[in-house]
Amino acid sequence: MNSIKTIPYGISDFANMRRRNGYYVDNTWGIPLLEALPYQLFVRPRRFGKSLLLSILHYYYDINEADRFDELFGGTWIHENPTPDRSQFLVLHFDFSKVAGETVEEMQQSFEETCKIAIDGFRMNYKAIIPEEVQEAMAKQTTFRAELDLLTTSQAFASKQRILILIDEYDNFSNRLLAQTGEEAYRELCHGTGFFKSFFSLLKAQNKVITNILLTGVSPMTLDDVTSGFNIAKNTSQSPQLATLCGFTHQHIREMLDYYAEAGQFPLDREQAFQLVTDWYDHYRFSLKNDEQVCNPVLFLGFMVECLTGEEFPRSMVDENLRTDYHKLRHIVTTNGRLNGKFHALERLVTEGSVTTDLIRSFQAETLTKPESFLSLLFYYGMVTIGESSFDGNQLTIPNQLMRQFVSDFLLNGYQDACKVDTRISELADKLGKMARYGDWRPAIEHAAQVLKEILTVRDLLDGEKAVQSALAALLSTGKAFAVQTEHRVGFGFADLAMAPRVITFPDIQYGTLIEVKYIKKSEKVGEEAKVPLLDEAKSQLERYAEDHNLAETWRLKPQGTVTLIRLALVFHGEELLFAEEI
Task: Give me the pLDDT at residue 51, please.
Answer: 97
Q: What is the percentage of the chain residues whose pLDDT exceeds 70?
A: 96
Q: Report cis status (omega within 30 of 0) of the bond before 559.
A: yes
Question: Mean pLDDT lowest for which of 85-89, 457-461, 491-495?
Answer: 457-461
Q: Encode pLDDT of 1-41 as tens digits.
A: 468 999 999 999 999 999 999 999 999 999 999 999 999 99
Region 102-119: mean pLDDT is: 94
Please give the pLDDT value at position 460: 63
pLDDT value at position 122? 97
- Residue 39 sits at φ, ψ, to 5 deg, of -130, 115
* pLDDT tens track for 206-264: 778 999 999 999 998 888 877 655 677 889 999 999 999 999 999 999 999 999 999 99
Of the candidates 79, 75, 73, the residue with the CA atom closest to the CA atom of residue 59: 73
Indicate whether 564 pLDDT > 50. Answer: yes
Alpha carbons 181 and 131: distance in angstroms, whole number: 44
The residue with greater pLDDT, 556 or 412, is: 556
Angle between helices 297-310 and 250-262 (to 10 degrees): 20
Q: What would the pLDDT profile of 414-460 be if each residue is shown by its tens digit?
A: 888 777 777 678 899 999 999 999 999 999 999 999 999 988 877 66
Cβ–Cβ under 8 Å, residues 260 and 268: no
Handedness of CA 326, 327, 330, 331 (dihedral sign): negative
Selected residue with higher pLDDT from 404 and 535: 404
Lowest mean pLDDT among 19-28, 163-172, 369-378: 369-378
For residue 413, the model assigns a pLDDT of: 84
CA gap 119, 397 in Å, rounded: 42
On the question of pLDDT at 553 being above 80, the answer is: yes
Amino acid present at 578:
L
CA distance 522 to 314: 44
Strands of 6-109 (E only): list them. Answer: 39-43, 90-95
Query: For the chain, what is the radius of gyration of the CA atoms?
Result: 27
- 283 in the Ramachandran plot: left (φ > 0), alpha (ψ -120 to 50) or beta? left
Give the pTM.
0.92
392 vs 171 pLDDT, higher one: 171
% residues pLDDT > 90 (the chain): 62
What local confidence, expressed as pLDDT, does residue 265 receive? 93
Across-strand partners of 396?
Answer: 355, 386
Sheet holding 511-520, edge to edge: 482-490, 493-501, 511-520, 564-573, 576-582
* CATH 3.40.50 corresponds to the domain 26-238: yes
Do residues 283 and 265 lie in contact, with contact meaning Cβ atoms separated by under 8 Å? no
**Helices first, then strands: H and E counts in the chain:** 25, 15
Burial environment of residue 72 by CB neighbours within 10 A (0 to 12, 13 to 18, 19 or more):
middle
pLDDT of res. 505: 93
Answer yes or no: is pLDDT of 140 > 60.
yes
The average confidence (pLDDT) of the chain is: 90
How many C-beta atoms surround the C-beta of residue 503 within 10 A? 21
For the residues 537-543, what does the mean pLDDT come to? Answer: 90
Instruction: Kindly list the distances between the CA atom of residue 146 and the CA atoms of 190, 244, 463, in Å, as whole numbers in the listed order.
Output: 21, 40, 57
| pLDDT at 305 > cutoff 70 | yes
- Judge whether 537 and 465 are in contact, CB under 8 Å: no
Average pLDDT over residues 362-368: 80
User: What pLDDT is recorded for position 2?
Assistant: 61
Average pLDDT over residues 57-72: 97
Pairing of strands 511-520, 564-573: parallel
More confident call, 181 vs 568: 568
Question: What does the alpha-carbon distance between residue 568 and residue 95 come to, in Å, rounded to a whole number?
Answer: 51
